[in-house]
Amino acid sequence: MKHASPPHDSSITHVTGESEYVDDRTMLAGELFVGCFYLKVAHAEIDAIDTSAALKIPGVAAIVTAKDVAHNAWGPIFQDQPIIADKVTEFAGEVLAVVGATTPEALRRGLAAIKIRHRTRPAILTIGEAITRKSFIGGERFIRRGDVDKALNDAPHRMSGKLVIKGADHFYLENQSAVAYPKEAGQMEVHSSTQHPTETQHVVAEALGVNFSDVVCIVKRLGGGFGGKESQSSPIAAYAALVANKTKRAARIVLTKDDDMIMTGKRNPFEIHYEVGFDKKGNILALRSRLYSDGGAYADLSTAIMERAMLHSDNAYFIANVEVIGQVCKTNCHPHTAFRGFGGPKGVAVIEGIIEDIARELKLDALDIRKSNVYREGHDVTHYGQVVENNRLPSLFNELEKTSDYRRRRSDISLFNHNVLTATNRFSPGAETLRGLSMTAVKFGISFTTKFLNQGNALVQVHRDGSIQVSTGAVEMGQGVNTRIAMLVAEEFGVSLDTIRVMTTSTEKNANTSPTAASTGTDINGAAAVLAAQKIKQRLSALALKLAIISPENWPSKTAGLGSFPEIEIDTLDDSPGLTDFSGNKIVIPRRKLSNVSSNNTATGQLKNAERFSISFPQLVNEAYLSRISLGEYGHHRTENLGFNKLTGQGQAFQYFSQGAALSEVEVNRHSGEIKVRRVDILMDVGRPINESLDIGQVSGAFVQGMGWVTTENLVYDNEGYLLSHSPSTYKIPSVQDTPREFNITLDHNPGNKANIRGTKAVGEPPLLLAISVWSAVKDAIRYVSERDADHLAFNRTHLLPIPATAEQTLRHLDPHLFTAPVIK
């Protein structure tokens, strides 16, 4: 049964306030509030922690330190991070003690009463310092193709530069939180706001010193995750569980926004050094990129993030000679982690920025350079050796160029900026702003680049009334994965969507799951659910065939209780009739399908005077139950045709590519540096969408979040590595006033995609990278000043516009001579 675009399954409960999050769970008698004690310095040696005064405060029930942790090490790739620090702290905000108290006030007083003696140690706080001191996490990684040295030397034009990309906070509305309930025999039930229930289960179990099977992690939904709860939610849950285990009382931890931002890692900051060679038409002949990322104090996911940045350094463009080198730096910052897009935005930003700079250098239109370099037939193999199949990139550029009226708008902006820059008084009306325009693309690989993560499982249970429960490892965090999975299962069974209930995610029903990340939630878990549904459907099909040739008086619903008719036996391997007509809550079998089923197709059967046999889905299900036919099934999906060799940097890294293009027009205030996004046009390839409304929501939300990253979201630290911008008052995410004044989103229906379940394409992360077009449009606006002024051109060749392009940074690049302070490098 096809469904249009039903709303998010929690839309009504969100609006009415009924949706349950972790902190909405009813407090139990004796339940404790949990909080964390940490230092505000980046690097310290701990001489002593005195908790005696804190334990005397009325209401303080327990204090947990490193000595209470059975296995005090965790990490999603390398177990290099303590759950609770002991002798040394490596970043400001690293937890040294966890307090459990009966009231929030007692918790506050208990944390304040902890005394600590420590010695501050020298800290590494920047990528530059880490490079100088050779402070690294893991070794260098390489992806190479062609002869880069020769191609650079032979290129008619050559350019080099460094792009600085700062971090960004996830700023989810539901902060890190968990509730732990101690059970009998040392078991623990944890309700956590996590994207990775399995990892949370494992970290909690190891911290407690119990088997994985003794811990159940349950996730109803998240109030946002964006990657920030892929790994770093695990120790948060462990803090609650450690207190619960010590006191044998339920324990609840809900970080404040301030503590959350101070303690948790961000999108990795990057510094990217590059050399590029190109011809007079802007064709890129060679590219060498050296990527350095700030991993923070511990590895977390930074090595995998670097890998994806390297894999996306080509973005939408074929480059014959490429060398990409990646190195993660170890600093004394909070360990940085996954963020929507993972490392992809960093690789895409540098190549898109290079193209804008080539356009400025050659005085050509950047769109023409992009179209000249885009992947196309004959030039469709990436630098890591994967063919770009189902390539929509050329058509996306061409179509969006037409529908957005690019050429006319480019002409209009050029005239507008000419008039502004030739005005006699820069403060006169109409001369305050410049405009910029840029179209960028995205080619985002869909799959985990670690092969074993590309698997998922699902449990489908059909009940006697025909209603269906589906359990998977997917976590609903606002993206609508539950709605999409429900739609896939409903379509498979041919039933109405309101009969499907996607259950709370729990590790006791779906074990050994992958995180809901890498835009694979529907791909992996939806495919597993469909596989489970197909197994049940096969059995129901076989039963329907038997019922069609048996008189209704002899059906199990009439005879099973009495035992007056032989039980119906089915051959579960027999799908020769090829029944596919599960639709409209009915199963229909045409007469021709039954010709070879049985020689007993006589007057006692169901087709004596009819051309077809039909039975309602609930009735068929009930007959199956009475025939002792299983109505539950487990499905396991593994993504095939993956084979990326991390050592050689070559192979099939992704199952397919989600692709899109965006045109952004901005207005930049010449006096304040303030940026306004006037208009955005997006054309996004989503394959054959499962739910168009949800896809449009994902595109718009991802783009606006990406806008914040490239313009306003600026992290500010003090000289001790302590985050100063740790609240909404000091950290500016986009508001409704920052959204594009005109926002046009079109989904490019692509029936040619065959790689994924039902031909759909993931849309969670890729559109965020299209927001780089806003940053590129700001660069375009600045270009008009550079072309007029040789001093501006020289400055902007040397000091590339960083990310985020804050008002201050934009103003520095518009009028560098007004600033005496050095530019951020």
Half-sphere exposure of 416 (CA within 13 A, CB side): 18
Mean per-residue pLDDT for 658-681? Answer: 97
Cβ–Cβ under 8 Å, residues 310 and 141? yes
Classify the C-alpha dihedral 668-669-672-677 as positive or negative: negative
pLDDT the model gives residue 600? 46
- Residues classed as catalytic: 765
Mean per-residue pLDDT for 38-44? Answer: 98
List pLDDT tens digits, range 516-556.
999 999 999 999 999 999 999 999 999 999 999 899 999 99
| Cis? peptide before 429, omega within 30° of 0 | no
List pLDDT tens digits, range 120-137.
999 999 999 999 999 999
User: Which residues are CB-contacts of 422 (< 8 A; sequence separation ≥ 6)?
Assistant: none
Residue with token string 């923070």: 296
For residue 291, list its beta bridge partners. 272, 326
What distance in Å separates the CA atoms of residue 681 and residue 367, rounded to the nearest whole number?
14
Total Cβ atoms within 10 A of residue 34: 29
The model's confidence at residue 460, banded by pLDDT at 50, 70 and 90, is very high
Total Cβ atoms within 10 A of residue 82: 22
Cβ–Cβ under 8 Å, residues 781 and 668? yes
What distance in Å separates the CA atoms of residue 256 and residue 138, rounded to the nearest whole number?
33
Region of 93 (left: φ > 0; alpha: ψ -120 to 50; beta: rest) is left
In sequence order, what DSSP letters do the residues of 96-125 get, joined into one string?
EEEEEESSHHHHHHHHHH-EEEEEE-----
* Mean of all residue pLDDT scores within the chain: 94
Mean per-residue pLDDT for 640-661? Answer: 97
pLDDT the model gives residue 790? 74
Angle at 327 between CA 322 and CA 332, to 5 degrees: 155
Amino acid at 455: Q
What distance in Å separates the CA atoms of residue 453 and residue 456, rounded to the nearest whole number?
8
pLDDT the model gives residue 450? 96
What distance in Å separates the CA atoms of residue 286 and residue 150, rounded to the nearest whole number?
9
What distance in Å separates the CA atoms of residue 582 and residue 1, rounded to the nearest whole number?
8
List pLDDT tens digits, range 420-431.
998 877 777 778
Residue with token string 């302070």: 821
pLDDT the model gives residue 599? 42
The model's confidence at residue 267, banded by pLDDT at 50, 70 and 90, is very high
Q: How many residues does the chain have?
A: 825
Cβ–Cβ under 8 Å, residues 682 and 416? no
Structure tokens at 524: 């992996």
Q: Which long-range contacts (CB under 8 A, 24 or more apart) does 150-153 make?
A: 150/321, 151/277, 151/285, 151/286, 151/320, 151/321, 152/275, 152/277, 152/285, 152/286, 152/288, 152/321, 153/277
Mean per-residue pLDDT for 178-193? Answer: 98
pLDDT above 80 (res 595)? no
Q: Which residue has the higher pLDDT, 237 or 795?
A: 237
Cβ–Cβ under 8 Å, residues 382 and 391? no
List pLDDT tens digits, range 280-308.
999 999 999 999 999 999 999 999 999 99
Half-sphere exposure of 202 (CA within 13 A, CB side): 15
List pLDDT tens digits, range 699-714.
999 999 999 999 999 9
Amino acid at 34: V
Half-sphere exposure of 824 (CA within 13 A, CB side): 21
Give buried/exposed letters for 666-687 (b at 16+ CB in 10 A, else e).
Answer: bbbbbeebbbebbbbbbbbbbb
Cβ–Cβ under 8 Å, residues 356 and 66? no
The model's confidence at residue 607, banded by pLDDT at 50, 70 and 90, is low
Residue in 221, 591, 597, 141 with CA at minimum distance from that of residue 383:
141
pLDDT above 80 (res 598)? no
Count Cβ atoms within 10 A of the Cβ of residue 144 and give its class: 0-12 exposed, 13-18 middle, 19 or more buried.
middle
Angstrom CA distances, 322 to 114, 366, 374, stand at: 54, 21, 15
Please give the domain boundaries of the chain with CATH numbers for all domains.
11-122+176-254 (3.90.1170.50), 270-449+647-818 (3.30.365.10), 455-638 (3.30.365.10)
What distance in Å separates the CA atoms of residue 112 and residue 115, rounded to the nearest whole number?
8
pLDDT above 90 (res 582)? no
SS3 assignment, position 35: strand
The model's confidence at residue 470, banded by pLDDT at 50, 70 and 90, is very high
What distance in Å separates the CA atoms of residue 454 and residue 654, rounded to the nearest whole number?
10
Mean per-residue pLDDT for 438-456? Answer: 98
SS3 assignment, position 138: strand
Q: Which residue has the higher pLDDT, 602 or 530?
A: 530
Structure tokens at 452: 């074993």
List pLDDT tens digits, range 59-91.
999 999 999 999 999 999 999 999 999 999 999
Supply φ then ψ for residue 601, to 5 degrees: -75, 75
pLDDT above 50 (res 576)? no
Structure tokens at 378: 């004959």
What distance in Å separates the CA atoms of residue 621 and residue 610, rounded to the nearest whole number?
23
> What share of the chain in percent tops pLDDT 90?
88
Structure tokens at 469: 């429960």
Q: Which residue has the higher pLDDT, 474 or 785?
A: 474
Count Cβ atoms within 10 A of the Cβ of residue 314 and give its class: 0-12 exposed, 13-18 middle, 19 or more buried.
buried
- DSSP E strand boundaries for 255-391: 270-278, 284-296, 321-330
pLDDT the model gives residue 575? 47
pLDDT above 50 (res 601)? no
What distance in Å separates the CA atoms of residue 659 and residue 770, rounded to the nearest whole number?
10
Supply φ then ψ for residue 681, to 5 degrees: -120, 125
The runs of H, that is alpha helices, within 114-213 are 127-132, 148-154, 197-208
Pairing mode, strands 88-89 and 505-506: unpaired
DSSP state for residue 525 in the 8-state scheme: I
